[in-house]
């Protein structure tokens, strides 16, 4: 039996926009460009061209990420660092 995994934790902050005008965010020290998907959700791009898609179209506040942590660890399916970091950063934006 596997040991229970601790919840994902960390820090997030908005940074200056990228040269192409896209918003940038730092999650646990890693910088991502944030793209909003027309179909619902977001894409987080790392400098090394790795991309994580966060789907927000499931309803009931459920967000899903396609990172390996979310895909292969059921207890983090909706709570990987990308989902938690982006949710926290979006809540901090002045609307």
Beta strand 23-27 pairing with 30-36: antiparallel
11-63: per-residue pLDDT in tens? 899 999 999 999 999 999 999 999 999 988 999 999 888 999 999 988 788 89
pLDDT of residue 39: 87
Higher pLDDT, 40 or 5: 40
CA distances from 90 to 11, 24, 50, 78 (A): 13, 12, 21, 16
pLDDT of residue 95: 62
3-state SS assignment for residue 64:
strand
| pTM of the model as a whole | 0.85
Residues 79 and 40: their CA atoms lie apart, in Å, by 18
> Residue 32's CB: how many other CB atoms inside 10 A?
26
pLDDT of residue 1: 62
């Amino acid at each position: 039996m596997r040991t229970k995994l601790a919840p994902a934790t960390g820090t997030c902050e908005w940074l200056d926009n990228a040269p192409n005008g896209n918003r940038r965010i730092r999650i646990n020290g890693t910088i991502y460009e944030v793209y909003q998907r027309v179909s619902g959700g977001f894409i987080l791009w790392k400098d090394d061209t790795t991309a994580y898609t966060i789907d927000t179209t499931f309803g009931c506040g459920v967000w899903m990420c396609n990172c390996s942590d979310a895909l292969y660890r059921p207890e983090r399916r909706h709570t990987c660092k990308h989902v938690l970091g982006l949710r926290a950063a979006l809540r901090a934006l002045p609307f």
